[in-house]
Structure 1
């Protein structure tokens, strides 16, 4: 098992990509803390994954935009399990709007969850990882960490920001054995993406089918959505990589939508 005796915290893991990562990690023997705004959903997911084994999971409530809740969640993990090997900043939302109609409150909320949340998880996790002289910080970026799309000013800004954060922390934390990497998915068919389909159809004046075929998948090589399992495999790859050679990097999984 690739992650036996490892302890991981995954934010936004009660569903979608986060849950797929947690499931993959538990299958590889890890102890996974499912941190989510929805405490009951996190606990239900943890029970399900623990029953499947061979690793185990627990669910805790965490608002990643709250410094107190992030600090408490990381501290509880370290107290209960004595270590922290992997921290994944995955929690996110999407708000689609033209920049002239984008409220400042929505802008701040988007950056607080995506970018502030990643900073807070990093800041809380690093002291323990430094003590261990080992650790893997993984940020959930996006193809929008590499390029831009209309109606997504805050999301694109936040996802670009994660690249800068990961690269900076790679430089700071590298001497302490801690590495950072960014996963950049294309469109993954999750509730977050499903919510965008009617919103973009309305904003762009096209059908929902056109949003899927032209806006979301039009630049892929095969017209296919990326899957949560695809992203979970990348998260396992980063977490289980055998050395610190792979740090400060990003990997895109988008069916060829973006190639670098």
Structure 2
């Protein structure tokens, strides 16, 4: 097992990509903390892992609340005596034209996608520094690399994650802590389905036309899967040295290459 006895916190892991990462980590022997605002889905994910013979607990975490983040992560450290891996996955997207975008919606998206990543990173680093070991993984997006209509705050926040990661990689290297970003392409989630529906209405196109446009630059016209992301998350968390740090890994069937 690649992550045997490692303690991993995965934010937003009650569903979607985060859940996939949590399940993969548990299957590799990690003790997984399901850190999510939704108690129902978070508890179900933890129960699913435990029923399969893994080890997981649910911790209700509001990543936009500094006191709650600090108390939650302190609780994890007190319970396990260490924190080896942090996956900043929790995110939120608001679809709207920038000239019609309310400032409160801009702030909400930035707060969840960027400020939350900062708060959880800061809270975990003190324990990772003390242990002289750790891996921090940010779930970015193809939107970390390019623009996309109607997603101004999301694109801005995902671009900013690259900068945050690179600074953490530089500062944390002397403590043997790595930081990397996984940048997924389009994955079929409820969030993406809403985006497809919205774009179809705004652009007066069918949903199939929107999907064809999204996948037109990929090498095989396919959406990525949750497993694609979780496999990369296991790879980064289990990498043995800081030879791999400060990097962004594109996972999108070649839809964006660099």
TM-score by length of 1: 0.98
Q: Which residue of 1 aligns with 2:41?
A: 41
Deviations along 1:102-126, one digit per CA (max 9) or x if unpaired, are: 1100100000000001000100000
Rounded to whole Å, the distance in 2 between the matches of 1:163 and 1:44 is 31
Question: Partner of 1:184: helix, strand, or coil?
Answer: strand
Corresponding position of 1:21: 21
Equivalent residue number for residue 182 of structure 1: 181
Q: Secondary structure at the match of 1:139?
A: strand
Are 2:60 and 1:78 equivalent residues in the alignment? no
CA contact (8 A) 1:178 1:244 kept: yes
SS in 2 for 1:111: helix
The 5-angstrom pairing of residues 31-180 of structure 1 reads: 31-53=31-53, 55-180=54-179
In the alignment, the residues of structure 1 paired with residue 135 and residue 3 of structure 2 have an alpha-carbon distance, to the nearest angstrom, of 12
Q: Contact 1:96–1:151 (CA<8 Å) still a contact in 2?
A: yes
Name which of 215, 230, 237 aligns with 2:235: 237
Deviation at 1:67?
A: 0.8
SS of residue matched to 1:251: strand
Structure 1: runs of 5+ lacking an equivalent? none
Contact 1:97 1:203 in 2 (8 A): no
- Give the secondary structure class of the aligned counterpart of 2:107: helix
Q: Distance in 2 between matches of 1:57 and 1:93?
A: 24
Are 1:250 and 2:248 matched, yes or no?
A: yes
What residue is the counterpart of 2:201 in the other structure? 202
Distance apart, 1:69 and its partner CA: 1.5
Match of 1:136, SS state, is strand
Aligned partners of 1:63 and 1:212: how far apart in 2?
Answer: 33
Alignment coverage as a number of residue pairs = 258
Q: How far is 1:219 from its partner?
A: 1.4
Residue 251 of structure 1 deviates from its aligned partner by: 0.3
Distance in 1 (CA, whole Å) between partners of 2:156 and 2:86 is 22
Secondary structure of the 2:183 match is: strand
Please state whether the residue corresponding to 1:29 is helix, strand or coil: coil
Distance 2:13 2:43 in 1: 10
Structure 1 residue ranges (4+ consecutive) displaced by more than 3 angstroms after TM superposition: none
**In 1, distance between residues paired with 2:37 and 2:202?**
29
